[in-house]
Amino acid sequence: MSATAQRPSSRGRGAPAAAHGNFIAGEWKPAASGRTFENRNPADRDDLVGTFADSGPEDVERAVAAAREAFPRWRALPAPKRGEILFRAAEILVRRKEDFARDMTREMGKVLAETRGDVQEAIDMTYYMAGEGRRQFGQTTPSELQSKFQMSVRMPVGIAGLITPWNFPMAIPSWKMMPGLILGNTVVIKPATDTPLSVVNLIHALEEAGIPKGVVNMVTGGGSEVGAPLMGHKDVGIVSFTGSTGVGRKVSEACAPAFKHCHLEMGGKNIIMVMDDAQLDLAVDGAIWGGFGTSGQRCTAASRVAVHKKVYREFVDRFVERARALKVGDGLDESVQMGPCISEAQRRTVEGYVKVGRDEGARLLCGGHRLESGELGRGWFHEPTIFGDCDPRMRVAVEEIFGPVVSVIPVGSLEEAVTVGNNVEYGLSASIYTQDINKAFTAMRDMYTGIFYVNAPTIGAETHLPFGGTKNTGNGHREACVQALDVFSEWKSIYIDYSGTLQRAQIDTWE
């Protein structure tokens, strides 16, 4: 079966709700306290997806101890052999893609097409990093001295503490876990409490693939009870976090006293720039997918669209018409185009920003309300919402909302669009729609973002290019591609002098 193949699955609303423990030292164990928490379907709060261990610091301590014990043997295992385990895990993910996608839709809400893509990202990343088991290239360079050889090699950091979000509940854990593992690190992961099942499924695949005991550990529970003890643990050598900028700042502060590696991927307020020569139908397609894919709950969501005044009215008319026509509902229904917000709290945040936009004078073009009629009343649904005639300084135009709300901003030139695009605290992703190659390259050069698209929306990263952003989006590191290896490794430079004499670099010379 190919990596994109789909097969029928019985998993769906009303499927049996299993109890899941922590995964520590190769065993599934309840929380030390015995407490559990529920995971419910955001499209139907009556649908119990499963129960999970409500853990605390003592569970983190056990997981870190297991990772510490497993580290020497895992590090000593040749990297190609580590890669073979990851390759087998990728094959298992391929076979179970449809089951895992349906589980993800139940616990997270996004539509099946998107959850299949989420699992596919995990497949792609696992295959990619399996290949790094036979690469992890260093450098060899000529020495300035006679009879001397020099090279650089990577070393694992040690124990990696991973704290992952709910919007890409298998893809993002794989972005962190697979590069960490292929380098010889051991792992303790804390998944988001809204979406722990997808990480459970990922670990089952690794377990079946033969990952040794203690190499991968999972502890479920809240941020203060699990996340804080994990990132502050003295034996954790690196913390990799994806989430809000506010929490990311706390992670950075927790890591700073021990100078431990800290990798942060945080917020975004991404812009699509539509020029007067753009193919408008294509631009509208991109704005719909960028703004309302995953119900706008992406760090790369296109929550701003700057449109040239010459085509502003025509673009807005088409954009609003398409947004009103979107089918909102349970993502397990193949005909649904947008699912719910992840929780009632997130929906209230969206509603709060709708009020802010109205109060600021933005023109509400469509949406703006929760959806509660019929079966939608059992979930956390909100209408696709568009504000028009926005001033680029409005809060709805500069703050991350993380919901199905898009602000449309009229601009008079490419230069103005770029200025608007850069005038936020984030720098993750941006795009331009134009048929003018000069405009495309100018925007490509001048937008200060980590990702840039031409004639495509601001979402849709692939695993073989680095992912991340500038300013308050991150702290300079990148995920995916070979750049992810830099996050989870240390460089060692090695010099081998076989001259049989003392040679002093920069002092002695050979003639």
Distance of CA 74 to the CA centre of its chain: 26
Distance of CA 48 to the CA centre of its chain: 25
User: Which of 101, 244, 104, 226 lies closest to 165 in space, CA to CA?
Assistant: 244
DSSP-derived 3-state class of residue 33: coil
- Reading the block at residue 498, the tokens are 């076989």
Instruction: Compute CA distances 93 → 119, 180, 370, 496, whole Å.
Output: 8, 19, 36, 43
**CA–CA separation, 244 vs 400, rounded Å?**
9
Partners of 410 in the beta sheet?
A: 307
Q: Are 107 and 195 in contact (CB under 8 A)?
A: yes
Residues contacting 297, CB < 8 A, separation 6+: 110, 167, 341, 342, 346, 402, 403
Instruction: Compute CA distances 506 → 141, 392, 510, whole Å.
Output: 16, 55, 11
Instruction: Compute CA distances 15 → 41, 44, 73, 107, 159, whole Å.
Output: 11, 13, 40, 12, 36
Which amino acid, one-letter code, is at 266? M
Residues with catalytic annotation?
Answer: 265, 299
